């Protein structure tokens, strides 16, 4: 069976919209509802955050959403069960994003197996060292057809970018600037310079830009450079304010003001 | 000879250690990892480090034969007086070392977390000395219970950022410091215990190893032998214990005991006894033993002592515990308080609440009069006077 991430990139090269939110937020059983609404609004890719008590790379918005989701009772087992119920509805790639400790406690092989069984096409584990991926994760990721996606930043060395590009099969997650999630300001000039370097390598993988993409204008600027962009904190803020999902997506795509 | 006190090339002590960090910190950790041994081994560093330890910190600290305490417990007890270091605890051994590394790397701004405030004060102190900007992250609860140290840090010119997430204690201060570092990659993160991603645990253990180096020399003078029968130290993240154990880890003779905070008791849900309650996992960038739920969520710890109120332990200790090279026990808040009042009465020394945990274990050990014990008195009790005052009438 072909991985949905490959299918996506075969059919769409530009303006890919990926949305991140924390599983189990705002309500424990919102997973299916939010997933369907995002799909209906033509989002290309969905990232579910595995809530973790001590998310080192996240700002207050995602920290709070994580804590709320944990308090609601979310865990990996439950998330897989919820995704299982949506099997027939899921048409776009689903990615799980979380911290390595959650995966280790769940069990490595079990985790990748459950991803495969429950329509998860890829995982992002920002604190997974490359060497540990190669030594311990890769064989399970390959066996269960799950893509492991790595992060790079404008400060990552060219040597390391090449190494990551060689190890990646899904896409590369380009962190817009050296900062935790939710800072809301992106230096697009620096990012443009960085992309000029990337084009010279050139990368074999597609790229999506994330962290700090929160408006139509930043989405547009990011998608001029990359194949697409990822919206996280801004979407979680919209969920907290109970804004309509279609209005939010519309706003990101067209600058339509949100009328909620 | 096999040496157990150092990690392998990849930064592991057995299965524990490593560097589990988001990509955003890769360059910083890599820079440190590539340079720290080179810098430490340079003659310039060695000269400056030892000069500051001697003339600024006041080393060597005494190895004091505590006769009254020895008589009480019918054994021979020496106290390694880290409480007499400048700023009042062993923490400054490490901050002097790391600040010289930061300087060698050309860093201008220092970030640090603190629990009891001793590491924060020691960091603010060396920053004042070397004219570096200093930002300290401290849990809001700890800012209240260790207020004296907050005032000292302010006077020393540090900016203090309260950590208001999670349990608002050391774990959360560490999270905030690491997030601060991600946002400010030009700064240097000066970690205060033998925890964090490689090479921090090794670096901190090396800087604290001065404690056991001195114990060896001083014991040779006092007892005609370098190795005691037993070394005891309290363990939060494990820096003073790493330093007190370091030179004895390969010894066939010396037994090592680390004492953690049981809080209200290990079965109460209000505890910080990681080695008893924890399992293998990842916290603050290293694989070690941590207190966590079966889903891998970190459990909020509890201890009356802010410096031991931490749900993890350094990877060296996880390794020594697993190999049964060191024994990790725990004492409750109440037992630590009793031990603090007892030392004050017996020897006229008011210990830090953290160090009082090491003293409290004496009640639980079978001791003989021909044994020689060294207890690492990691710090003084000035910062804990409000807590002692609260409990004074009960004693
Ligand atoms: C006096 C004293 N002892 C011990 C500790 C615990 O730290 P560690 O386990 O790193 O020695 C602290 C920490 O704040 C302290 O202030």
> Would you call B179 an interface residue with chain A, using a CB distance cutoff of 8 Å?
yes
pLDDT, one tens digit per residue, over B52-96 is 999 999 999 999 999 999 999 999 999 999 999 999 999 999 999
Distance CA A251, CA A257 (A): 6
**The pLDDT of residue B174:** 97
Tell me the shortest Cα–Cα distance from A256 to chain B, in angstroms.
32
Question: Could you give the percent of chain B with pLDDT greater than 90?
Answer: 97
Number of domains composing chain B = 2
> What's the pLDDT at B1?
47
What is the DSSP secondary structure assignment for residue B165, as one 8-state letter? S
Mean pLDDT, residues B110-122 taken together: 97
B19: domain range?
13-53+91-204
Q: Where are the beta strands (DSSP E) in chain B?
A: 12-13, 16-17, 63-65, 76-81, 109-114, 133-139, 159-163, 188-189, 230-234, 255-263, 279-283, 286-290, 326-332, 372-377
Model pLDDT for residues B318-338, shown as the tens digit of each residue:
999 999 999 999 999 999 999
Q: What is the pLDDT of residue A178?
A: 85
Shared-domain flag, residues B64 and B152: no
Give the minimum alpha-carbon distance from A150 to chain B in angstroms, rounded to a whole number: 8
Query: Residue B299 domain-assigned?
Result: yes
Interatomic CA distance for residues B23 and B176, integer angstroms: 17
- Residue B309 inside a domain? The answer is yes
For residue B275, what is the domain's CATH number? Answer: 3.40.50.1100
Give the span between the Cα atoms of B99 and B104, in whole angstroms.
Answer: 9
Arithmetic mean of pLDDT, A63-86: 97
| pLDDT at residue A130 is higher than 90 | yes
Instruction: Say if residue B163 is in the same domain as residue B242.
Output: no
- B264 domain residue, yes or no: yes
**The pLDDT value given to residue B56:** 98
In a domain, B76, yes or no: yes
Q: Name A80's Cβ contacts closer than 8 Å, sequence gap at least 6.
A: A114, A117, A118
Looking at the partner chain, which of B27, B183, B292 has a beta carbon nearest the beta carbon of A179?
A: B183
Name the residue in chain A with its Cα closest to that of B18: A129
Q: Does residue B235 sit in the same domain as residue B304? A: yes
Q: Is pLDDT above 90 for A221?
A: yes
A38 versus B3: which is more confidently predicted? A38
From the CA of B323, how far away is ligand 1's center (Å)?
24
The confidence band for B3, taking pLDDT boundaries of 50, 70 and 90, is confident
Q: Is the peptide bond before B168 cis (omega within 30 degrees of 0)?
A: no
* pTM for this prediction: 0.96
Q: B364 and B267: one domain?
A: yes
Model confidence at B395, in pLDDT bands (50, 70, 90)? low
Walk across the sheet containing B109-114 and list its strands: B159-163, B133-139, B109-114, B188-189
Q: How much is the pLDDT for B394?
A: 65
Q: Are residues B41 and B101 in the same domain?
A: yes
Q: Which of B356, B360, B77 is nearest to B228 (CA)?
A: B77
Question: How far, in Å, CA of A212 to CA of A207, rounded?
Answer: 16
Which residues in chain B have Cβ-Cβ distances shorter than 8 Å to A160? 26
Distance CA B267, CA A15 (A): 54
Residue A183 pLDDT grade (very low, low, confident, very high; cuts 50, 70, 90): confident
Hunting for tokens 């009328």 — which residue is that?
A259
> Using alpha carbons only, what angle is made at residue A191 by residues A187 and A193, rounded to the nearest 5 degrees?
125
Q: Are B359 and B239 found together in one domain?
A: yes
Residues A90, A37 contacting (CB under 8 angstroms):
no
Q: Is residue B6 part of a domain?
A: no
Contacts of A127 in chain B (CB under 8 A): 20-22, 282, 285
A136 catalytic per annotation:
no
pLDDT per residue over B340-357, tens digit each? 999 999 999 999 999 999
Q: Does B353 fall in a domain?
A: yes
Q: What is the pLDDT of residues B174-230, one digit of tens each?
A: 999 999 999 999 999 999 999 999 999 999 999 999 999 999 999 999 999 999 999
- Does B77 lie in the same domain as B188? no
For ligand 1, what atom is nearest to the CA of residue B170?
A: 14
Q: Say how far residue B200 (Cα) sits from the centre of its chain.
A: 13
Residue from B141, B307, B331 whose mutation best tests the ligand 1 pocket (most atoms within 8 A of CB): B307
CA of B369 to the centre of ligand 1 (A): 29
Q: Are residues B67 and B174 in the same domain?
A: no
- Please tell me the total number of residues recorded for chain B in this structure: 395
Which residues, 6 or more positions from B233, have their beta carbon under 8 angstroms from its beta carbon? B240, B241, B244, B245, B257, B258, B259, B358, B375, B376, B378
Mean pLDDT of the region B158-183: 95
Residue A52 has pLDDT above 80, yes or no: yes
User: Atom 5, ligand 1: which residue's CA is nearest?
Assistant: B307
- Do B126 and B226 fall into the same domain? no
- CA A221-A243-A22 angle, to 5 degrees, is 75
CB A229 within 8 Å of CB A194: no
Q: What is the pLDDT of residue A254?
A: 82
Give the pairing type, strands A171-175 and A147-152.
Answer: parallel
Please identify, among B154, B177, B204, the residue that sits at the C-terminal boundary of a domain. B204
**Could you tell me which of B202, B312, B244, B205 has the C-alpha nearest to residue B61?**
B244
Looking at B204, B222, B248, the residue that finishes a domain is B204
Please indicate, yes or no, whether residues B83 and B121 belong to a single structural domain of this protein. no
Q: Which of A37, A58, A117, A134 is catalytic?
A: A58
The band of B102, judged by pLDDT with boundaries at 50, 70 and 90, is very high
**Adjacent-strand bridge partners of B13:** B16
Query: Which residue among A126, A156, A180 sits closest to B179, beta carbon to beta carbon?
Result: A180
DSSP letter (8 states) at residue B56: I
> What value does the mean pLDDT of chain B take?
97
Residue A260 has pLDDT above 50, yes or no: no
pLDDT at A1 over 60: yes
User: Quick one: B75 and B48 in the same domain?
Assistant: no
Mean pLDDT, rounded, for A241-250:
94
Close Cβ partners of B66 (under 8 Å, ≥ 6 residues apart): B77, B78, B79, B346, B347
Determine the average pLDDT of the residues in A15-23. 97
Residue B385, number of CB atoms within 10 A of its CB:
12
| Residue at a domain's end among B176, B204, B232 | B204
Asked if residue B4 belongs to a domain, the reply is no
Q: Are A90 and A77 in contact (CB under 8 A)?
A: no
Residue at B62 is within a domain: yes
Question: With the CA atoms of A172, A173, A179 and A185 taken in that order, what torsion angle do they form, in degrees rounded to the nearest 10?
Answer: 120
Among A46, A66, A22, A33, smallest CA distance to B166 is for A66
Clarify whether residues B185 and B213 are in a common domain: no
């Amino acid at each position: 069976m072909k991985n949905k991430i490959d299918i996506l990139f075969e059919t769409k090269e530009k303006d890919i919209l990926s949305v991140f939110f924390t599983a189990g937020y705002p309500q424990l059983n919102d997973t299916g509802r939010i997933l369907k609404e995002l799909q209906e609004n033509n989002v290309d890719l969905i990232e579910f955050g595995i809530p973790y008590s001590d998310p080192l790379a996240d700002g207050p918005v995602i920290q709070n959403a994580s804590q709320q989701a944990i308090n609601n009772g979310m865990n990996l087992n439950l998330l897989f069960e919820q995704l299982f119920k949506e099997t027939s509805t899921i048409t776009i790639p689903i990615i799980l994003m979380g911290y390595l400790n959650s995966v280790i406690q769940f069990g490595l092989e079990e985790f990748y197996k459950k991803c495969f069984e429950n329509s998860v096409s890829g995982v992002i584990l920002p604190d997974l060292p490359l060497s540990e991926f190669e030594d311990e994760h890769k064989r399970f990721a390959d066996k269960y057809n799950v893509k492991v996606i790595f992060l790079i930043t404008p400060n990552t060395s060219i040597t390391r970018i090449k190494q990551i590009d060689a190890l990646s099969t899904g896409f590369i997650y380009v962190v817009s600037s050296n900062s935790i999630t939710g800072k809301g300001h992106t230096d697009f000039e620096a990012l443009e310079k960085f992309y000029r370097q990337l084009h010279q390598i050139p990368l074999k993988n597609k790229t999506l830009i994330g962290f700090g993409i929160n408006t139509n204008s930043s989405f547009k600027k990011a998608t001029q450079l990359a194949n697409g962009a990822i919206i996280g904190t801004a979407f979680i803020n919209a969920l907290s304010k109970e804004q309509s999902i279609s209005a939010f997506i519309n706003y990101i795509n067209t600058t339509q003001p949100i009328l909620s | 000879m096999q040496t157990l006190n150092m990690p392998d090339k990849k930064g592991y002590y057995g299965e524990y250690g490593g560097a589990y960090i988001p990509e955003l910190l890769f360059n910083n950790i890599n820079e440190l990892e590539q340079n720290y041994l080179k810098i430490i081994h340079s003659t310039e560093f060695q000269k400056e480090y030892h000069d500051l330890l001697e003339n600024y910190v006041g080393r060597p600290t005494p190895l004091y034969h505590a006769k009254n305490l020895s008589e009480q417990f019918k054994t021979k007890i020496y106290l390694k007086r880290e409480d007499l270091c400048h700023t009042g605890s062993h923490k400054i051994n490490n901050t002097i070392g790391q600040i010289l590394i930061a300087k060698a790397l050309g860093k201008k701004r220092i970030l640090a977390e603190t629990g009891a405030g001793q590491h924060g004060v020691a960091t603010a102190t060396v920053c004042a000395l070397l004219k570096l900007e200093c930002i300290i992250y401290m849990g809001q609860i700890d800012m209240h219970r260790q207020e004296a140290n907050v005032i000292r840090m302010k006077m020393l010119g540090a900016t203090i950022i309260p950590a208001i997430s999670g349990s608002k204690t050391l774990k959360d201060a560490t999270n905030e410091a690491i997030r601060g570092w991600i946002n400010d990659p030009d700064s240097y993160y000066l970690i205060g215990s033998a925890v964090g991603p490689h090479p921090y645990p090794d670096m901190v253990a090396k800087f604290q190893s001065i404690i056991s180096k001195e114990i060896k020399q001083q014991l040779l003078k006092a007892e005609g032998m370098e190795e005691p029968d037993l070394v005891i130290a309290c363990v939060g993240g494990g820096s003073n214990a790493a330093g007190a154990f370091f030179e004895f880890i390969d010894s066939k003779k010396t037994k090592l005991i680390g004492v953690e905070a049981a809080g209200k008791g290990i079965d109460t849900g209000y505890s910080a006894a990681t080695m008893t309650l924890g399992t293998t996992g990842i916290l603050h960038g290293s694989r070690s033993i941590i207190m966590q739920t079966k889903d891998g969520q970190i459990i909020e710890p509890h201890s009356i002592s802010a410096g031991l109120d931490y749900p993890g332990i350094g990877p060296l200790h996880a390794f020594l515990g697993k190999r049964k090279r060191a024994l990790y026990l725990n004492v409750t808040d109440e037992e630590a308080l009793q031990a603090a009042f007892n030392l004050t009465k017996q020897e006229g020394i008011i210990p830090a609440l953290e160090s009082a945990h090491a003293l409290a274990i004496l009640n639980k050990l079978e001791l003989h009069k021909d044994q020689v014990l060294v207890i690492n008195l990691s710090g003084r009790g000035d910062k804990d006077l409000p807590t002692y005052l609260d409990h004074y009438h009960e004693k």
